[in-house]
């Protein structure tokens, strides 16, 4: 009973990690050509094409495909926003608060009297 629960949890977590790695790899690979939104669906299509026959018998691959589909949906919208930001010339979102107001750069300064003698 405990081994079944452990295997189920391992399959879900492993599928989630594999889908995250696949999504990141697709995003990074196609970010080079400035179309990162195509990355996760392209990686998913590649996965299904390569392992299509094993998809019927492998619970792990079905889990990876399910999580990859979910990630591809979210990555599609974020990729389109990323591309539109880069087409307008905005590389990074501008901070709302200046850095100097977020945190002090240095604490209050103490004056020390250094005479060069060891006390």
The structure's pTM equals 0.61
Q: Identify whether 105 is part of a domain.
A: no
The model's pLDDT over 23-49, given as tens digits with 9 standing for 90+, comes to 888 888 888 887 888 888 888 888 888
Q: Identify whether 2 is part of a domain.
A: no
Q: Identify whether 18 is part of a domain.
A: yes
Domain that holds residue 43: 8-92
Q: Identify whether 20 is part of a domain.
A: yes
Q: Identify whether 78 is part of a domain.
A: yes
Domain count, the chain: 1
* pLDDT at res. 93: 55
C-alpha 103: how far from its chain's center? Answer: 27
- Please compute, for residue 63, the number of CA atoms within 13 A of its CA located in the half-sphere on the CB side: 16
Q: Identify whether 108 is part of a domain.
A: no
């Amino acid at each position: 009973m405990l081994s079944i629960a452990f295997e189920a949890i391992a399959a879900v977590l492993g599928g989630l990690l594999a889908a995250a790695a696949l999504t990141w790899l697709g995003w990074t690979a196609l970010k080079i050509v400035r179309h990162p939104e195509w990355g996760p669906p392209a990686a998913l299509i590649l996965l299904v094409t390569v392992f299509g026959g094993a998809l019927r018998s492998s619970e792990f691959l079905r889990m990876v495909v399910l999580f990859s589909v979910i990630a591809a949906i979210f990555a599609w919208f974020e990729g389109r926003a990323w591309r539109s930001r880069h087409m307008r010339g905005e590389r990074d979102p501008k901070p709302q608060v200046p850095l100097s107001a977020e945190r002090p750069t240095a604490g209050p300064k103490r004056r020390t009297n250094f005479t060069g003698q060891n006390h």
